[in-house]
Amino acid sequence: MFRLDNKTAIVTGGGSGIGRAIAKVFAAQGAHVFVLDLNEQEGISVANEIKSANGNAIFKKCNVALQKEVDTIINEILNEVSSIHILLNIAGVAHIGNAENTSENDFDRLINVNVKGVYNCMHAVIPHIKNKGGVILNMASVAASVGIPDRFAYTMTKGAVVGMTLSVAKDYIQQHIRCNCISPGRVHTPFVDGFLAKNYPGKEKEMFEKLSKTQPIGRMAQPEEVAHLALYLCSDEASFITGCDYAIDGGFIKLNN
């Protein structure tokens, strides 16, 4: 079950965090993985890890916010493989701030990466997978469903991701494209460690425990747990699922009363 043999998967933001975990899990299940990331060092590292485990991975440096660059990379991929089967839009940036203290530059940066980046990749890939059949999985967040303090711009972008997901699912259901999104709660990624080190020096452990306990289950998710849900949704076993936003949040949305 959940094998991806003979399938090509594109993972944006595949150099770190959730994207890295997804790239490794999908490769372990037999997919030919293209790791797209702006960070060349991290992207190459992930591709090399996969190849050292006898997996199949190629790194492509890509800024998803630039449509021409995305189009070029997708065309390069199609020159190397016969078909694209799975697109995972994982690349994204975070921001802390409310409507007053979010600068225009930060607002534009989040729009360009978190919203336009997802659009750019779907715009480039959909023409090559429609009618042939394919899966698109986007990365949303629990922030799109509930209010989280000081996440104004981030919440806005993730709400847009959910909206794009539903729209693509409806528009292309007859062309055999399934489109879903995942909404994680807090996940223990390098971003979390960097955030704590920057904002709570000397109190990292204390604040990590505090953040962990905001999930009713009492801990943060591991990136691999999100990757396993992504694997299911992109596998043939999930062929009846489209137009859904899946929370993976330790009970954050439903149980935090």
Catalytic annotation, residues: 154
Strand duo 86-89 + 32-37: pairing:
unpaired
Q: Closest Cα to residue 92, out of 18, 197, 167?
A: 18
Residue 213 makes CB contacts below 8 A (sequence gap 6+) with none
Distance CA 35, CA 61 (A): 8
112 exposed, middle or buried (CB, 10 Å; 0-12, 13-18, 19+)? middle
State whether residue 181 is helix, strand or coil.
Answer: strand
Rounded Cα distance between 133 and 93, Å, is: 30
Helix pair 223-234, 17-28: axis angle to 10 deg: 50
Q: Is 1 helix (H, G, I), strand (E, B) or coil?
A: coil
Q: What distances in angstroms separate CA 17 from CA 37, 67, 98, 224, one per listed residue? A: 12, 24, 25, 9
Torsion of CA 192, 9, 182, 139, to 10 degrees: 50
Q: Which tokens hold the place of 15?
A: 């150099």
